[in-house]
Structure formats: structure tokens, C-alpha cells
């Protein structure tokens, strides 16, 4: 643990004009291979390149029903996943969203900047609210406004997210621009860019190559959870849906073979090589040979991560210290930004 936060954080002013990465995950459901390859690996890589803020979105989580008795533990589990995957709390700032009240305060201001018409276009709300839109919470509707506040309260410039979040990033930019305009503060908020590219950007379900690997899939066999042990990992890969053909020479040969392509992509991402390199090695072989190799690889990469998560969760004091320290560093940035916002808006408490 850090005795002292790294120099740039201690009460430092916001880094105007510089790069800052921020991302978060909701504490709902277990972390899985898709989260690991699609998000965690990227966070871990980015932390060494640019100032990185990674949080657990417990405010967002309650847009769907949560058990109040479990929510804190769910925050710890995501944090354990961050640490086990390799986020270094001395390097990256890791914290819980609710520990920095400025997120919610800025979200209110942004609720008054964003237009109904903008939010009406959000496809994720349409999907999540389903047929009974009128019964969804208003929080679910303004979810992307809170997301904009998460990002802009740190003046973050880059946001690693899945492609399903691209629209929320566009909204964030619209909000930043309108705020800067409405309050005559050109350049006050940066216009953050999504970071979407990269291998592992889309890990698909092991049961259906057309669906994303997801924590909300009712079949546990559709995903590899970070906490699965070696047997469970191997078994899920053995049961993964495939076809009867052998692996082709080149990636074009995977056209129309979504399940096969997914397993090849997972292998490549886990091994840190390209799909072409995987195929060079396994061309002409069937899944009877490829699956055990993939299972061994997955166990060797994921096994230690699951083990580290279990170790961290067995004694949550370490996780709690990381979150307390991260919240302090996060607030050192968010507090002065929010103070400026109050001033720009003309609030009494500015
Ligand atoms: N909506 C994001 C997701 O479901 C989670 C999230 C909340 C987030 N706030 C954020 C991601 C801010 C990036 C930046 O994946």
C-alpha cells in the first residue's frame, strides 16, 4: 500500500489540456472473461501510459434493483478483479463512485444541460427498459448523464469502453460542449474520446457466437467467470458450441463460423498473439485438439487471477484501504472542478 499518494495527486489542480483516462464498471454480477479481455487488460496497459482513474459504479448499479445488504460486497468484488488483473493502486486511482459525491452533484447540473431529445435517442435505455418503459426508473433514463459526470468531473480525455458505450460517449461530448457554451467557459470541459479498438473488444458467449459474453446471460456455461476454478474453466471450454469443421488456414476461413471465430479470438487475446498466428499453428486441426489447448491456456491465464481475487476477498481490509486511498485522490481532482462548476453556474454555495 502507498504511504503517500504519488506526487501528481496530492491536492493537484486538474490537468488542463493533458491526457487522463477514466473508466468504470458496475458492481452487478460476476466479472467474466469478456470483462477481462475487453476492459481489464486495457486498463492495466493504460495505467503505465497515462494517468488512469478506474472506479466502481455503485450509483449506476441502483438504476436496477440491488440488495442493499450485498452492494458493498459487490463493490469489493469488482475492486478485487481490478487488482487481481494487475491494476496497481500506486499507479492507477481506484475508487467507488459513491465515495466521491461530486459525481452526483455534477450529474444534477448536467441533467439541466442535456435535452430530452438527446436522451430519447439512447439505445441502451430502450433495450434495458424493455416493453414497460413507463415502469423504468428515471435514474435508468438519466444513466448516461451520470456517466458524463463521472468522466467530466475529472476532465478525463479518454474513456476505454465497449462499443455499446459509444453513444454514451457522444452524449458526454454533447453535454461538455453545451455546458462550455451555455456558461461561457470555452474549453472548460474537454471533449472526451472513446478508446474502443483492440483485441478482445468483443468476446462472445460460449453458447452462441452471435451474442456478447454477458453477466446477464442465464446460462453460466455461456461465460468464464474470473472466479471459476480450473475444472470449471476447462469444462466450459469443452462444452463450448463449435462446428464440425477443422480450423482454416486464414481468418477469412472463419467467415460465417461465429463460434469457431470466437474461440480463435479468445485464444489469440489470451496468448497475446494475432488470430493469424493462432491459425498458423492450428490450421487443419479440429476442436478435439484445439479446445484442450485453449483450456490449458485459459487456465494458465485466468487461474492465478481467480486465486488472487479469492485471496483479496478473504481479507477485505486491503481492498478497503485501496478504495479509501483512491477516493481521497479522486476527490483531490473532483472537488476543485466541482467548485469551479458551482461558480460558473452561479450557485449560492460557490
Ligand atoms: N456504463 C458503463 C458500462 O456499462 C459503466 C460506466 C459508468 C462507465 N460510468 C462510466 C464507463 C464512465 C466509462 C466511464 O460499461
In a domain, 323, yes or no: yes
Are 226 and 197 in a shared domain? no
User: Out of 72, 128, 178, 291, which one is annotated catalytic?
Assistant: 128
User: Out of 215, 236, 239, 280, which one is annotated catalytic?
Assistant: 215
| pLDDT tens-place string over residues 10-45 | 333 334 347 999 999 999 888 999 999 999 999 999
Q: What is the pLDDT of residue 216?
A: 85
Are 129 and 262 in a shared domain? no
Active site (annotated) includes residue 215 = yes
For residue 112, is pLDDT > 70? yes
Active site (annotated) includes residue 70 = no
Cα 334 to Cα 58: distance, rounded to the nearest angstrom: 17
Are 189 and 88 in a shared domain? yes
Are 181 and 321 in a shared domain? yes
- Of all residues in the chain, the percent with pLDDT exceeding 90 is 89
In a mutational test of the pocket of ligand 1, which residue from 154, 165, 166 has the highest number of ligand atoms less than 8 Å from its CB?
Answer: 165
Q: What is the pLDDT of residue 121?
A: 96
Q: Is the dihedral of CA 5, 196, 215, 259 positive or negative?
A: negative
Average pLDDT value over all residues in the chain: 92
Q: What is the pLDDT of residue 250?
A: 93
Are 325 and 189 in a shared domain? yes
Which residues pair with residue 204 across a beta bridge?
212
Active site (annotated) includes residue 155 = no
Q: What is the DSSP string of 144-197?
A: HHHHHHHHHTTT--EEE--GGGHHHHHHHHHHHHHHHHHTT-TTSS---EEE--
- Going from the Cα of 9 to the center of ligand 1, the distance in angstroms, rounded, reads 23
Q: Is the dihedral of CA 216, 222, 226, 227 positive or negative?
A: positive
Domain with residue 180: its CATH number is 3.40.50.620
User: Out of 42, 155, 212, 236, which one is annotated catalytic?
Assistant: 212
Are 92 and 47 contacting, i.e. CB atoms less than 8 angstroms apart? yes
Domain with residue 287: its CATH number is 1.10.240.10
Mean pLDDT across 200-227: 90
Are 257 and 306 in a shared domain? yes
Segments forming the whole domain that contains residue 118 = 14-201+316-345
- Of all residues in the chain, the percent with pLDDT exceeding 70 is 94
Are 187 and 280 in a shared domain? no
Spell out which residues line ligand 1, taking CB within 6 angstroms: 22-26, 57, 60, 147, 150-151, 159, 161, 165
| Per-residue H/E/C for 287-298 | HHHHHHHHHHHH
Residue nearest to atom 8 of ligand 1 (CA): 24
In a mutational test of the pocket of ligand 1, which residue from 35, 60, 82, 167 has the highest number of ligand atoms less than 8 Å from its CB?
Answer: 60
pLDDT band at 163 (very low <50, low <70, confident <90, very high): confident
Are 249 and 303 in a shared domain? yes
Q: What is the pLDDT of residue 202?
A: 80
- Going from the Cα of 235 to the center of ligand 1, the distance in angstroms, rounded, reads 31
In a domain, 208, yes or no: no
For residue 124, is pLDDT > 60? yes
**Structural domain total, the chain:** 2
Are 258 and 300 in a shared domain? yes
Are 332 and 290 in a shared domain? no
Instruction: Select the more confidently predicted residue: 171 or 38.
Output: 171
CA-closest candidate to residue 230, choices 307, 309, 288:
307
Are 285 and 308 in a shared domain? yes
Mean pLDDT across 74-88: 97
pLDDT band at 4 (very low <50, low <70, confident <90, very high): very low
Which residues pair with residue 55 across a beta bridge?
24, 95
Mean pLDDT across 75-103: 98
Amino acid at each position: 500500500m502507498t504511504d503517500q499518494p504519488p506526487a501528481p495527486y496530492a491536492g493537484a489542480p486538474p490537468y488542463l489540456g493533458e491526457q487522463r483516462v477514466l473508466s468504470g464498471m458496475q458492481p452487478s454480477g460476476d466479472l467474466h472473461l469478456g470483462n477481462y479481455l475487453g476492459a481489464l487488460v486495457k486498463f492495466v496497459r493504460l495505467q503505465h501510459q497515462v494517468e488512469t482513474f478506474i472506479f466502481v459504479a455503485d450509483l449506476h448499479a441502483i438504476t436496477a434493483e440491488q440488495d442493499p445488504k450485498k452492494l458493498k460486497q459487490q463493490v469489493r468484488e469488482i475492486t478485487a478483479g481490478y487488482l487481481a488483473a494487475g491494476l496497481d493502486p500506486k499507479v492507477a486511482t481506484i475508487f467507488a463512485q459513491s465515495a466521491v459525491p461530486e459525481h452526483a452533484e455534477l450529474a444534477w447540473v448536467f441533467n439541466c444541460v442535456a435535452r430530452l431529445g438527446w436522451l430519447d435517442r439512447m439505445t441502451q435505455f430502450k433495450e434495458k427498459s424493455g416493453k414497460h418503459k413507463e415502469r423504468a426508473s428515471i435514474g435508468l433514463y438519466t444513466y448516461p448523464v451520470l456517466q458524463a459526470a463521472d468522466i467530466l468531473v475529472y476532465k478525463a480525455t479518454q474513456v476505454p469502453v465497449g462499443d455499446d458505450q459509444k453513444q454514451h460517449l457522444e452524449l458526454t461530448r454533447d453535454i461538455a460542449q453545451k455546458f462550455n457554451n451555455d456558461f461561457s467557459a470555452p474549453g472548460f470541459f474537454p471533449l472526451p474520446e472513446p478508446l474502443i479498438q483492440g483485441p478482445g473488444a468483443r468476446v462472445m458467449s460460449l453458447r452462441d457466437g452471435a451474442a456478447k459474453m454477458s453477466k446477464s446471460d442465464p446460462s453460466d456455461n455461456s461465460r468464464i467467470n474470473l472466479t471459476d476454478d480450473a475444472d470449471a474453466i476447462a469444462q466450459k471450454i469443452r462444452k463450448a458450441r463449435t462446428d464440425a469443421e477443422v480450423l482454416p488456414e486464414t481468418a477469412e476461413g472463419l467467415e460465417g463460423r461465429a463460434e469457431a471465430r470466437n474461440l480463435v479470438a479468445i485464444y489469440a487475446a489470451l496468448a497475446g498473439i494475432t488470430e493469424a498466428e493462432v491459425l498458423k499453428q492450428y490450421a487443419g486441426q479440429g476442436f478435439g485438439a484445439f479446445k484442450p489447448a485453449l483450456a490449458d491456456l485459459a487456465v494458465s491465464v485466468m487461474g492465478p487471477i481467480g486465486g488472487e481475487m479469492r485471496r483479496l476477498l478473504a481479507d477485505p481490509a486491503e481492498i478497503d484501504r485501496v478504495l479509501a486511498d483512491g477516493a481521497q485522490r479522486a476527490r483531490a481532482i473532483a472537488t476543485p472542478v466541482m467548485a469551479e462548476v458551482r461558480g460558473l453556474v452561479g450557485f449560492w454555495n460557490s
